[in-house]
Each structure stands twice: as structure tokens, then as C-alpha cells.
Amino acid sequence: MLAIRMRTGRRKALAFATAAALTALAVPALTATPATATDTATATATSTGATTATATNSAYDSTYYKNAVGKTGTSLKSSLHTIISSQTKLSYSAVWDALKATDQDPNNSGNVILLYSGVSRSKSLNGGNTGNWNREHVWAKSHGDFGTATGPGTDIHHLRPTDVQVNSVRGNKDFDNGGSAVANGGGSLTDSDSFEPRNAVKGDVARMILYMAVRYEGGDGWADLEPNNSVNNGSKPFMGRLSVLKQWNEQDPPDAFEQRRNQVIHDSYQHNRNPFIDHPEWVEAIW
């Protein structure tokens, strides 16, 4: 029953996404794009035997997402903003323990997986020295100047364990394709104005950035965070490059690790969800 319901739901989502693309009279590639993202996400859930994810999406569509399902564009973004803004907020010091749970290595409960390098490292090696892991703000703190006060700077949907030195290389660069290999970066690339994470987390990065754009709309004392197509955003409350983030969302659909992470944040910490992990096709529906 649940599987059938999910398929129906996804077909509806696909129909909306396709209709939106047709309405926009976009280039032909765009009409095919939502189908690819949707199909891949479905296939991933099936191939990993993630019946939980199937039931989860179906259940949340009729509850958590009920005021968003069926919408597109600014209407969808606005509804999702209202939904995900109801959350518990963490202090920056509480983020350490939260990340030990959300990013736990599925093969070693004493370790976390580092986002950019893919390395498994002991949970106890958190800190600021070489060989430690620290709290990377995927939406760089300077892009909107939110720092580490309780708010966007402590929102664990975009905070991830990273190697101290790789974190330093990423700095506050925007995301884009290209550059040379980052030392111990697991295949990540960088140049003077951008950072390209390893393939396995490209979609994760895109969905984190777009979560932040929907969650923070400027009405709560924080900057209105938005994606754009630039790579020299500096301290402006923008993050690029949107066209590339959309590609990454499609080429790297949510996997079991990312879905579990979303669930742990929802169940045990912030009690809100990243909608783009549950519905990657909503990226195209909004942007």
C-alpha cells in the first residue's frame, strides 16, 4: 500500500514539475530534468531496500508537508519556509554532540564521516588542530554574517564534520565545478574563487544550500539567504553557483546516509526536515 501510494505521489510531483517546465517554455533539457531527478531518487530508495524512506515520504506528505504538496514556485517555497521554520534551535556548543549522532559512520559507531574528504575519523578527535575534525558551515558564515550565534550558524542541516585543513581550504568560497585537487580532499577540487566537493556529496551540498535559502527569508532578524549564479559573493548573503547546484542535486540523489541524517535531525534535535532530501524534485519546482 505504502509503495503504491508513494508512486502515485511521485507521479503527481512529476506531473507538476513537468507542467511547470512546459509553462515556462524552457529549453527542452528542462522538461527532462525533473523526471531524471525523480526516477533516480525512486530507484535509490528501492535499490537500498529503504522501505523506511518510502513510508517516510508517504507519511510526511499527508502530515508534515500537507500544505506544500502540489505547489510550485514561490508558493511552494513560501509554504516550505513556514513548515521548516518551526524548529528547536541548538547552541553552538551542542552542535558537537549532535554531529556525532547525525554523521556517525554506519560501519563504526565510534567515528564520524567527514563531508568533503569522505574519511572516517574518531568522534573524539573533534577540535581545531591538524588531524581533528571541526564544524563546517556549508553555507559559509560570512555569506550573511551570521557567525555562530544560535540561528543559521548553529543549524545542523548545513553543519557537517570536516577535516580542519580541508575546511580551511574551502574557506568561504562559493561552490562551482573546476580547479585542482584539494590535499586529502577525497577528490574535491578548488580554485581561487570556488570549491567543488567530491562526487558522492555534491547533491548533499546542493540540498543543504537550498534548505538554507528556504529556511532563512530575512524575517527573523537574520539575512535573507539566497542562491545566485556568482562565485565571488564574499560577505553578501548569497551562495553560488545555482545552476551548478541544480546539476549536482540531479547527479547525486539522496542516499541512505543523507536520509538517515535528516531523520535524526527531525527526531532528536531540531524537529524540522530538509524538504529537498525528501523531495529532490522540489529544487526544480522552485528554481
Binding residues for Ca ion, rule: CB under 5 A, are 203-204, 213, 217, 224-226, 252
Q: Minimum CB separation from Ca ion for residue 204, in Å?
A: 5
Q: Can you tell me the distance from the alpha carbon of 85 to that of 47, in angstroms, rounded to the nearest whole number?
A: 32
Nearest approach in angstroms of CB 225 to Ca ion is 5
Give whichever of 18 and 207 is closer to Ca ion, judged by the CB atom. Answer: 207
Residue burial 158-197, b: 16+ Cβ < 10 Å; e: rest? bbbbbbbbbbebbeebbbbeebeebeebbebbbeebbbbb
Measured from the CB atom, the residue of 97 and 224 that comes closer to Ca ion is: 224
Identity of the residue, 18 or 196, whose beta carbon is nearer to Ca ion in the bound complex? 196
Give the integer Cα–Cα distance in Å for 35 and 26: 15
The rounded distance, in Å, linking the Cα atoms of 277 and 281 is: 9
* Identity of the residue, 163 or 252, whose beta carbon is nearer to Ca ion in the bound complex: 252
User: Parallel, antiparallel, or unpaired for β 174-175 and 194-196?
Assistant: parallel
Nearer to Ca ion, 90 or 213 (CB): 213
Q: How far apart are CA 118 and CA 234, in angstroms?
A: 27
- Closest distance to Ca ion from the beta carbon of 121 (Å): 19
Q: How far is the CB of 124 from Ca ion (least distance, A)?
A: 26
Q: β-strands 104-105, 120-122: how paired?
A: unpaired
Rounded to a whole number of angstroms, the minimum distance from the CB of residue 218 to Ca ion is 7
Nearest distance in Å: CB 212, Ca ion: 8
Name the minimum Å distance from CB 160 to Ca ion: 12
Phi, psi angle pair for 166, to nearest 5°: -65, -40
Q: Which is nearer to Ca ion, 92 or 257 (CB)?
A: 257
Question: Looking at beta carbons only, is 226 or 250 nearer to Ca ion?
Answer: 226
The three-point CA angle 117-153-138 to 5° equals 25
Alpha-carbon distance 229 to 174, whole Å? Answer: 10
Residue with cell 544560535: 150
Of 190, 281, 174, 282, nearest to 227 (Cα)? 174
Closest by CA position to 17, among listed 72, 83, 87, 82: 72
